Amino acid sequence: MKQAQTRRLSQAFLSLTFIMLLVFAVTSQAASSSPTKTLTIGALFSLTGPASPTIKQGRDGAMAAAEWINEKGGLTIKGERYKIEVIAEDDKSTPDGAVAATNKLVHKDKVKFIVGPIVPQCAMAMAPITEEAKVLRCNVNGIGHPAEMNPKLRYTFATYKNINHFSPTYDFLVEQFPKVKKIAIVAIDDPGGQAAVPVSQREAKKRGLEVVFTDRYPFGTEDYYPILTKALDRKPDAIDMAVGVTPWFAAMIKQARQLGFKGPMFASVPTGDIYLLRNLIGKDFANDIFFVEPDLKSPKMPPIIKEIKAISRKRPGPICSLLIWQVGRRCG
């Protein structure tokens, strides 16, 4: 995998993340005394089920973030000091699982703030519960489907929308791979994929690229040979994988390479874990691949991220600290 490409694509996202984290660090260090109260924040992620292999790291990141913020002195809310306690629940990668977990957090644990989930259909399923209970929810990884974020969701906000990454991703594609003229789009058949495909089609056409194939696969698919065979019959120069999680992307890339496809493969979203992705693909197939993903092992990482990594040695999702920070800031 071309790490330089990965770093360039993630530069804008990381810059915003680092600035916001730095502002919080300064604010925390300026506050006096130790926390005397506890702010409980719910964290809802896919700890089991098809989406869990990398999404469960969101829980690890939330825990690391809480520990890091508490070490910095906690939060100041309306003049009072608080430490953060995270209650993590499993949405099981399903809407029903999200509903059950949300009901526990809202009605049993009495949380007023929730971070997550990542799977769009889980976010949509839990929204009526949090909205009715007036629980502030941070939609941490929205694709941009209207049902994920709309004016009727008064207690839901988003850290960012992956839809915003599609345009720079396609800019990068045409800059780095000028011979690419035809695109195949292979997406998951869920609200995320439904929202992503039209955007990919629009961005491709804006740059004079021809979309020769578009299709979707069921949530949790492991065998991509049938859909890839149909896609490759149309002779694409590149494959846009739209949205997904690390094992799905890795399987699709590996299977496409095994079918003889040598062109670039990419997605306008993070994989969840670029290091796991590379290991799953194998060095023979991990070439001409790019995602919107930070390289947390880069020596160019700012000191503040290195601090978080030191806390989260056993938790590979430290970037999620930004999510906890945003929830905390909205409490004041």
Q: pLDDT (tens digit, 9 = 90+) per residue, 9-20?
A: 333 333 333 333
Q: What is the mean pLDDT of residues 169-198?
A: 90
Q: Give me 89's structure tokens.
A: 């629940």
Q: Which of 209, 190, 238, 194 lies closest to 49 in space, CA to CA?
A: 190
Q: For residue 33, what pLDDT band results from cuts at 50, 70 and 90?
A: low
Report the range out of 50-54, 64-68, 230-234 with the highest average pLDDT. Answer: 230-234
Who has greater pLDDT, 124 or 165? 124
What is the per-residue pLDDT for 91?
Answer: 92
Please give the angle made by the CA atoms of 260, 55 and 128, to the nearest 5 degrees. Answer: 125
What is the per-residue pLDDT for 209?
Answer: 97
What is the per-residue pLDDT for 119?
Answer: 83
Who has greater pLDDT, 23 or 198? 198
Q: Please state, for a pLDDT cut of 70, what percent of the chain lies above it.
A: 75
Q: What is the mean pLDDT of residues 67-71?
A: 85
Q: How far is CA 8 from CA 5, 13, 41, 168, in A?
A: 5, 10, 33, 10
What is the per-residue pLDDT for 139?
Answer: 79
Least confident of 94-108, 201-215, 220-234, 240-254: 240-254
Who has greater pLDDT, 251 or 271? 251
Who has greater pLDDT, 27 or 220? 220
**Burial group, residue 262, by CB count within 10 angstroms (0-12, 13-18, 19+):** exposed
Rounded distance between C-alpha atoms, residue 134 and residue 271, angstroms: 32
Tell me if 283 sits within 8 A of 6, measured CB to CB. Answer: no
Rounded distance between C-alpha atoms, residue 271 and residue 261, angstroms: 20
Alpha helix stretches (DSSP H) within the chain: 3-30, 52-55, 57-71, 95-103, 120-132, 166-176, 191-206, 225-232, 246-258, 274-281, 303-311, 321-329
User: How far, in whole angstroms, is CA 126 from its chain's centroid?
Assistant: 18
Residue 208 region, left (φ>0) first, then alpha (ψ -120 to 50), else beta? left
What are 129-180's pLDDT values in tens digits?
999 999 999 877 766 677 777 788 888 887 666 677 788 889 999 999 999 9
Q: For residue 319, what pLDDT band results from cuts at 50, 70 and 90?
A: very low
Q: How far is CA 182 from CA 9, 243, 311, in A?
A: 21, 19, 45
What is the per-residue pLDDT for 262?
Answer: 93
Look at residue 1 and tell me whether its pLDDT is greater than 50.
Answer: no
> Which pTM value belongs to this model?
0.70
Rounded distance between C-alpha atoms, residue 279 and residue 322, angstroms: 27
Q: Give me 272's structure tokens.
A: 């969840």
Who has greater pLDDT, 241 or 304? 241
Rounded distance between C-alpha atoms, residue 191 and residue 140, angstroms: 15
Look at residue 238 and tell me whether its pLDDT is greater than 90.
Answer: yes
Q: Please state, for a pLDDT cut of 90, what percent of the chain lies above it.
A: 36
Residue type, 8: R
Least confident of 25-29, 50-54, 165-169, 264-268: 25-29
Tell me if 157 sits within 8 A of 173, measured CB to CB. Answer: no
What is the per-residue pLDDT for 301?
Answer: 65
What is the per-residue pLDDT for 287?
Answer: 81
- Residue 307 φ/ψ, nearest 5 degrees: -60, -50
Q: How far is CA 76 from CA 22, 70, 84, 106, 190, in A?
A: 16, 11, 11, 23, 39
